Amino acid sequence: MINEISFQYPTWYIIFCLLLGLVYALALYFKDKKFTESPKWSIWVMGILRFLSVSGIAALLLTPLVRSITEDIKQPIVILAEDGSQSIVANLSEEEIAAKKQELNMISDQLSEKYEVKRLVIGDKIENGGVDSFGYKVSNLSESLEFIYDNYGDQNLGAIIMSTDGIYNEGKNPLYAKVNLTSPLYVVAQGDTTIKKDISIKNVFNNKIAYLGDKFSIQVDVAAKNCAGKSTNLSVSRVDNGNSKRLKSENLKLNKEDYFTTKEIILDADKVGLNKYRVALTPVDGEVTKANNYKDIFIEVLDARQKILLLAHGAHPDLSAMKSIITSNKNYEVDIRFPEDTDLNINKYDLVVLHNLPSDKYPIAVQLANINKKRTPRLFVVGAQSSLSGVNKAQDNIKIAGNSASLEDIQADVVRTFNSFTVDEQLGANLRSFPPLIAPFGQYTSPSGANVLLTQNIKKIETEYPLLSFKDQSGIKTGVWVGEGIWKWRLFDYLQNENYDVVSSVVNKAIQFLSTKEDKRKFRVSSSKNLYKENEQISFDAQLYNDNYEMINEPDVFVTLTNEDKKDYKYTYNRSSNYYTLSAGMLPAGRYTYVAKTNYTGEALEQKGSFSVQDIQLELYDLTARHDLLRALTEKYGGELFVSGKSEGLASKILTNTKIKPVVYQSSDTKSVLNFKWLFGLLLLLLCLEWFLRRYMGSY
């Protein structure tokens, strides 16, 4: 530590401080005659004490500062990053695994004598410490380089040692990682580069969701090495509660040493829920591993299609236009029917669109009674054939006073205060250029509670007459669209924009708003996903509502998870704000059901559900070590590659590298001398000693 003293005033002012102390001591002890009888030594001692104390006090008035400089020698850091994935030890004995660990421990011990060694584990995440077990399911080499650069790039990083087989199955190619490492990278190359006999499923591509009744495609990439002349069978089976049912199979002739093919398999989505499918290859003799002969995939089959009925007075181009718009969303299935259809079952639909109904010819009293009884949402499209009295009677959203025999052209204006759902800001400008709709002439009014999206613009005059309005009618969502001619809107939209986006946004958002069912459950539980990977945390949330539908979390909520072997995992939810959360940690692969329970005001509430945990098989798909990639990495970062088991010279290579040097860091701390309490104690001691001698010599 180096200390320097400075003053806030010129340093030569100290001369005045010393002169002041000297004058004070001379005047008091050498000019004053009262100490003439005292021993000379006592006069000199008291004079010196007074000189020191007065000079010291005067010097403090100059506000002296003390600057302390501390030097810290930082030894270079050497990172030892070890791949802890399954591919490292595939097909190795316990003795061989122990030898690998011993090899890395020896390198670490040798380097620790001179450098600070930081050990990291490479897997699905980067962790501190050495490898205990090689159980990680994925390898992300580019992430490990980025982690080292982000965390140690600004420190005295001497060298990086990476122990890996070069196989990566997450992240980008490590050669293209966005890091600018200036330290050399050394590699202990693990694994075997020999291409052995093996067949594998390289990739399976599929949609995560399919709809009940549809067909869906699975694309399978099959590869084989050194298997020419052999054959295998590619099959797809559905696995349910441990039982497997084969759905499709195909024989493959492996006619090349380096064989690759892509097969597309079409399956039926015939079972609702999260379905587990296994794509498998029958093994061939002498394979190095059979773990990559199969791959499990999960596809959720939804019965989420809402059935929508277009019930029309008669044939009309609006019907096909509306059907095309609505069915562009796969969640909807549309039927076009007419009142005279004898086989019509109106109760099976989730939403009914009444086009030009009720009319004088078709009052549809029975159909209206059925949808009212079932509380089915409905949308009235009022046109030339509509009975205005019948429409007024069937709904209280828009009231029309007029005669449907008289028609007029109307265009649409957007109501900016509409808030039931969002619309594009340019919708109003777009709709003003659209051709007019045809609507009955009359006066239109909206009762209280109606939420109007579009109003009528008649001959370029803005009115408050509603064109499209929504209302919750006794708990039933009801919409009224005034005007027929949606087909013209659709054609014009395509002519102008080469798409149907404008008209589709209006129609589909209206359909979505009306068909969305409100969740009235007071106790709701859900998991964040239906499908987890086995290295992901399982998380849940829950909401509990009182009679006013205000969220509360007073009572405890319990949940029991059950796997396919009927093993139970029991948890209690945590309270967070006014809802519940739960992190169940990581669970083994398989299908799980859950039952959540609580009790509120004496009422037992229960919710059930299910989810699946998917096995990660990436590490065992490709066991051929990529030493060419590792050699390219060492060349890029100025290091060297050592093969595992022959790395004796690695530690000495780093220890003798003259470019790896300690760094001296200096830090300074400046503070006022007034902060040193011992200095005041010293001045007080000088004054006390002087006072004691004066008293002893018989003077004050």
Domain harbouring 389, CATH code: 3.40.50.880
**Phi, psi at 101, each rounded to 5°:** -60, -40
Q: Is residue 690 part of a domain?
A: yes
Q: Are residues 288 and 318 in the same domain?
A: no
Q: Are residues 471 and 547 in the same domain?
A: no
DSSP bridge pairs for 441: 403
Does 64 sit behind a cis peptide bond, omega within 30 degrees of 0 on the bond before it? Answer: no
Q: Are residues 458 and 601 in the same domain?
A: no
User: Where among 472, 487, 515 does a domain terminate?
Assistant: 515
Report whether pLDDT(700) > 60.
no
Q: Is residue 619 part of a domain?
A: no
Q: Is residue 178 part of a domain?
A: yes
How many other β-carbons are positioned within 10 Å of the β-carbon of residue 313?
Answer: 23
Range of the domain at 224: 198-302
Q: Are residues 485 and 552 in the same domain?
A: no
Q: What is the CATH number for 603?
A: 2.60.40.1930
Q: Is residue 534 part of a domain?
A: yes
Q: Is residue 155 part of a domain?
A: yes
Q: Please, which residues have CB within 8 angstroms of residue 161's CB and are 6 or more apart in sequence?
A: 78, 79, 80, 81, 107, 185, 186, 187, 188, 650, 654
Count Cβ atoms within 10 A of the Cβ of residue 276 and give its class: 0-12 exposed, 13-18 middle, 19 or more buried: buried
pLDDT band at 370 (very low <50, low <70, confident <90, very high): very high
Do residues 62 and 31 lie in contact, with contact meaning Cβ atoms separated by under 8 Å? no
Q: Are residues 20 and 100 in the same domain?
A: no
Q: Is residue 286 part of a domain?
A: yes
Give the integer Cα–Cα distance in Å for 693 and 637. Answer: 76
Lowest mean pLDDT among 161-175, 609-623, 624-638: 609-623
Q: Are residues 486 and 538 in the same domain?
A: no
Residue matched to tokens 């020896």: 106
Report whether pLDDT(380) > 80.
yes
- The reported pLDDT for the residue numbered 3 is 66
How many other β-carbons are positioned within 10 Å of the β-carbon of residue 625?
Answer: 22
Q: Are residues 471 and 404 in the same domain?
A: yes
- The reported pLDDT for the residue numbered 699 is 60
Q: Are residues 589 and 501 in the same domain?
A: no
Q: Is residue 328 part of a domain?
A: yes
DSSP state of 602: T
More confident residue, 36 or 400: 400
**Angle formed by the axes of helices 317-326 and 501-515, nearest 10°:** 80
Q: Are residues 22 and 107 in the same domain?
A: no
Could you give the percent of the chain with pLDDT greater than 70? 97
Q: Are residues 341 and 392 in the same domain?
A: yes
Report whether pLDDT(228) > 80.
yes
Q: Is residue 665 part of a domain?
A: no
Do residues 552 and 545 lie in contact, with contact meaning Cβ atoms separated by under 8 Å? yes
pLDDT single digits (tens) 179-202 = 888 899 999 999 888 888 889 888
- The reported pLDDT for the residue numbered 679 is 82
Over residues 431-446, the mean pLDDT reads 92
Q: Considering the chain, what is the average pLDDT of its residues?
A: 87
Q: What is the CATH number for 256?
A: 2.60.40.10
pLDDT band at 36 (very low <50, low <70, confident <90, very high): low
Give the integer Cα–Cα distance in Å for 631 and 641. Answer: 6
* Number of domain units in the chain: 5
- The reported pLDDT for the residue numbered 169 is 81
pLDDT band at 147 (very low <50, low <70, confident <90, very high): very high
Give the integer Cα–Cα distance in Å for 14 and 60. Answer: 10
pLDDT single digits (tens) 306-363 = 899 999 999 999 999 999 999 888 778 899 999 999 899 999 999 999 999 999 999 9
User: Where among 495, 515, 535 does a domain terminate?
Assistant: 515
Report whether pLDDT(33) > 70.
no
Give the integer Cα–Cα distance in Å for 123 and 279. Answer: 26
Q: Are residues 268 and 320 in the same domain?
A: no
Q: Are residues 349 and 462 in the same domain?
A: yes
Report whether pLDDT(1) > 60.
no
pLDDT band at 2 (very low <50, low <70, confident <90, very high): low
pTM for the whole structure? 0.54
pLDDT single digits (tens) 90-106 = 778 888 888 888 999 99
pLDDT band at 648 (very low <50, low <70, confident <90, very high): confident
